[in-house]
């Protein structure tokens, strides 16, 4: 079966939108004035969007709107409905979505809408793809970190419509999983306002002191360039080749599109796709960071992913311009004395005919075929040009110039209407969604303690205040799970096994081997942090009531909590970016609130340990020091080949337990991963005092995170 290939271009404004179409894009993704993951781009108004979509549709191209931010309860109301309705009714070809509340909203009110799952969903295996296909998504944008082999495996397992990034800036963190900008400066990447702290300089330290580095920008990725790999990517299953750059210039966007169009056409024509030196130099000239990388297509991490030197985008300064693309029509003109003149236009199977004035006999000089061709050929600033125009006109006739011009305008307008005509899509009537009431009674009775260390696990098992002990996947990989689980069960407590934060194909395979002996135990809970992990558990027979959603499966609004509640999951851990006011109007009936823990800011395929010290398969806790000398712990988990960057301070809400009690949480989470036993003792003692109204402050520095500020 012949597969389609799509070059998908970014547009930060309407001028760029039209220019990338002219440069050869098959589709364009853009943001509206609200709910876009690139809030600082100019983005398009409703009027501009309608013009842009028509421009695309006339040329047989597509337009996708990005609605891929996380929304709060107050934002999923009438204004959001009206916003989506405008784009829906003007013929937007697809909506790009991250938030499952937004997904549910669109499915409820706009049943014919096409939904593409954003790379912000961090879909990294066939499990996540199957999850969303089952829910009704039409396309999956895969995580940027996947290799060709992983993409091929996903396509062979699912035959899904796959979109993958092929060019432009890379996030060092798995998309949708970065909270660093949010925690440092309240500018949330998941809300479209990332401040890019990964582009700042950091010094790296281990237990012996400062670690040598080629440069200070140890988290700053080079730009991706996959133009030389499009044949391999297409063979692996990629259908849509996505170019990053909604914050980039018109020259950048159009220049990059033109090169990818060239080699995509060569691929489709069966010609050589070897990229010339001149074209690579041209791509570098329109914009790159310390050159390019295509590392992820072959392996998980490596030194040439990172710039180390200045992360600034460099370019030659030369402007790349495109000419307005025209739709080429076949036309037929007919004129006979005493009959109405007629002009037809066609492209493919679409054809229109316009009828004009009655043709008169010439009294003096007649209207010649050349005269007719001249006037009909004046297509001006329209979207069209004549590929072929047949003129069948008798001699000795007279047709006024105005009549020919009017007939041309009417005919071109008619075929434009046919080309942009769309099926009538009506939104279902809006109804106001109720949100959870504030000041609910405290129903919290579960205390979850999380750990990734054997010594800590045994200590926590003996603490009466702990009702559920969460064990990291690391303990299973180290074959230390059996003893802990039997000990904890003997004390009458429940065990929760935490899946890896990111579940790629090989991660799923290895976790199945170490976890298989636990899957049949109906007393165990399992925590999923990704849609891949969620579907993996379901396919392994884990019952919904055994599954706990981590904060990374975002439930920022009640539509999202309702979406997951319908599946019967046991608990949802509350996202970290909501403040106390927003929490008071959230459905917390199954909510677990983090009241202590060092928050993971980034999950990365990039390995700083390997880059600077070599890959020795040895987990280590490094620290990154920023320009203000804040220290961020960085842990390389070799069991799944992933780095986790933690916040410089642990988050503690222990001093706020008196008011937290009114949020109606189902339980609380105390995260003690990477903590020492003496710290754990302090935290648990303070928690117990806080429940009885006693002194609830710790003797070390902490942060409340977003509890009082939000994003």
- Whether 6-170+222-298 shares its CATH topology with 446-594+652-691 is answered yes
What DSSP character marks residue 18?
Answer: H
| Cα angle, residue 116 at apex, residues 183 and 176 outer, rounded to 5° | 15
Give the per-residue pLDDT at 435.
64
> What is the rounded CA–CA span in Å between residue 152 and residue 138?
18
Predicted local confidence at residue 98, as pLDDT: 97
List the domain boundaries for the chain: 6-170+222-298, 174-221+595-651, 327-420, 446-594+652-691
3-state SS, 61-94, equals CEEEEEECCCCCHHHCCHHHHHHHHHHHHCCCCE
- Residue 426 half-sphere exposure, CB side, CA atoms within 13 Å? 2
Cα 554 → chain centroid? 13
In angstroms, the CA 70 to CA 178 distance is 13
Cα–Cα distance for residue pair 254/499, rounded to 1 Å: 42
pLDDT given for residue 296 in this prediction:
97
Distance (Å, rounded) from C-alpha 8 to C-alpha 38? Answer: 17
The answer to whether 350 and 25 have CB atoms below 8 angstroms apart is no
**Parallel, antiparallel or unpaired: strands 223-225 and 292-293:** parallel
Residues with Cβ within 8 Å of residue 290, at least 6 apart in sequence = 222, 307, 308, 309, 310, 311
CA–CA distance, 655 with 678 (Å, rounded to integer): 19
Run means of pLDDT, 10 residues per run, the chain, 711 residues: 88 96 98 71 88 96 96 94 94 97 97 96 98 98 98 98 98 96 92 93 96 97 98 98 95 97 97 97 94 95 94 86 95 97 96 96 92 96 96 95 97 96 85 66 80 94 95 91 88 94 97 94 97 98 98 96 95 96 93 96 97 95 95 96 97 93 94 95 94 86 94 89
SS3 state of residue 172: coil
Segment 335-344 long-range contacts (CB within 8 Å, at least 24 positions apart): 335/359, 335/367, 335/372, 335/392, 335/393, 335/394, 335/397, 335/399, 336/393, 336/394, 336/397, 337/361, 337/394, 337/396, 337/397, 341/399, 341/403, 341/404, 341/407, 343/376, 343/407, 343/408, 343/411, 344/411
Global pTM reads 0.95
Burial class (CB in 10 A: 0-12, 13-18, 19+), 280: middle
DSSP H or E segment with residue 409 = helix 401-420
The rounded distance, in Å, linking the Cα atoms of 369 and 249 is 46
Q: Under CATH, which architecture does the 6-170+222-298 domain have? A: Alpha-Beta Barrel (3.20)
- Return phi, psi of residue 417, to 5°: -60, -40
pLDDT of residue 444: 63
CATH code for the structural domain at 446-594+652-691: 3.20.20.60
Nearest to 449 by CA among 351, 301, 594, 330: 594
């Amino acid at each position: 079966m012949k597969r389609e290939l799509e070059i998908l271009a970014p547009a930060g404004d309407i001028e760029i939108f039209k220019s990338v179409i002219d440069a050869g894009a098959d589709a364009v993704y853009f943001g509206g004035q609200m709910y876009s993951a690139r809030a600082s781009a100019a983005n398009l108004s409703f009027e501009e969007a309608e013009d842009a979509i028509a421009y695309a549709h006339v040329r047989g191209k597509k337009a996708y709107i990005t609605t891929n931010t996380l929304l709060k309860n107050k934002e999923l109301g009438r204004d959001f409905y009206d916003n989506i309705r405008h784009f829906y009714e003007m013929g937007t070809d697809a909506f790009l979505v991250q938030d499952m509340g937004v997904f549910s909203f669109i499915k409820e009110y706009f049943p014919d809408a096409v939904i593409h799952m954003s790379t912000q969903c961090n879909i990294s295996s066939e499990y996540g793809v199957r999850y969303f296909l089952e829910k009704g998504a039409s396309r999956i944008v895969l995580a940027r970190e996947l290799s060709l082999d992983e993409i091929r495996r996903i396509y062979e397992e699912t035959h899904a419509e796959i979109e993958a990034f092929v060019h432009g800036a890379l996030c060092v963190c798995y998309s949708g999983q970065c909270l660093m900008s949010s925690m440092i400066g309240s500018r949330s990447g998941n809300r479209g306002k990332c401040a890019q702290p990964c582009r700042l300089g950091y010094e790296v330290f281990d237990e012996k002191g400062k670690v040598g580095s080629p440069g200070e920008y140890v988290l700053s990725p080079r730009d991706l360039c996959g133009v030389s790999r499009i044949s391999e990517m297409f063979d692996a299953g990629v259908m849509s080749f996505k170019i990053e750059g909604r914050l980039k210039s018109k020259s950048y966007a159009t220049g990059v599109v033109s090169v990818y169009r060239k080699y995509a056409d060569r691929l489709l024509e069966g010609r050589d796709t070897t990229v010339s030196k001149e074209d690579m130099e041209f791509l570098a000239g329109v914009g790159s960071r310390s050159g390019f990388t295509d590392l992820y297509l072959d392996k998980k991490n490596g030194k040439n992913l990172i710039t180390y030197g200045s992360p600034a985008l460099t370019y030659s300064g030369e402007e790349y311009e495109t000419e307005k693309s025209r739709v080429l029509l076949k036309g037929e003109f007919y004129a006979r004395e005493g009959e109405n003149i007629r002009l037809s236009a066609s492209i493919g199977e679409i054809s229109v005919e316009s009828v004009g004035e009655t043709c008169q006999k010439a009294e003096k000089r007649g209207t010649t075929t050349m005269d007719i061709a001249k006037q009909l050929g004046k297509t001006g600033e329209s979207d069209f040009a004549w590929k072929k125009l047949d003129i069948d006109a008798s001699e000795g006739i007279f047709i006024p110039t105005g009549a020919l011009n009017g007939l041309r305008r009417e005919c071109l307008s008619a075929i434009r209407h046919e080309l942009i005509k769309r099926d009538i899509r009506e939104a279902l009537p809006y109804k106001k969604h109720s949100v959870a009431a504030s000041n609910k009674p405290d129903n919290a009775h579960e205390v979850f303690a999380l750990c990734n260390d054997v010594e800590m696990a045994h200590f926590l098992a003996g603490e009466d205040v702990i009702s559920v002990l969460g064990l990291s996947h690391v303990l299973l990989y180290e074959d230390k799970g059996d003893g802990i689980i039997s000990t904890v069960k003997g004390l009458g407590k429940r065990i929760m096994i935490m899946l890896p934060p990111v579940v790629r194909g090989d991660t799923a395979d290895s976790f199945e081997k170490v976890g298989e002996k636990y899957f049949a135990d109906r007393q165990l809970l399992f925590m999923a942090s990704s849609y891949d992990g969620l579907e993996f558990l379901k396919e392994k027979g884990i019952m919904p009531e055994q599954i706990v959603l981590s904060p990374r499966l975002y439930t920022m609004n009640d539509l999202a909590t309702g979406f997951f509640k319908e599946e019967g999951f046991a608990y949802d851990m509350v996202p970290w970016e909501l403040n106390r006011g927003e929490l008071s109007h959230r459905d917390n009936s199954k909510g677990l609130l983090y009241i202590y823990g060092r928050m993971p800011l980034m999950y990365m395929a990039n390995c700083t340990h390997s880059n600077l010290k070599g890959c020795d398969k040895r987990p280590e806790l490094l620290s990154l020091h920023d320009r203000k000398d804040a220290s961020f712990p960085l842990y390389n988990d070799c069991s799944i080949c992933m780095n986790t960057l933690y916040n410089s301070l642990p988050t503690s809400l222990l001093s706020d337990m008196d008011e937290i009690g009114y949020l109606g949480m189902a339980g609380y989470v105390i995260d003690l991963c990477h903590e020492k036993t003496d710290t754990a003792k302090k935290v648990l003692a303070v928690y117990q005092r806080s429940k009885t109204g006693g002194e609830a402050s710790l003797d070390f520095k902490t942060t409340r995170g977003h509890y009082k500020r939000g994003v």
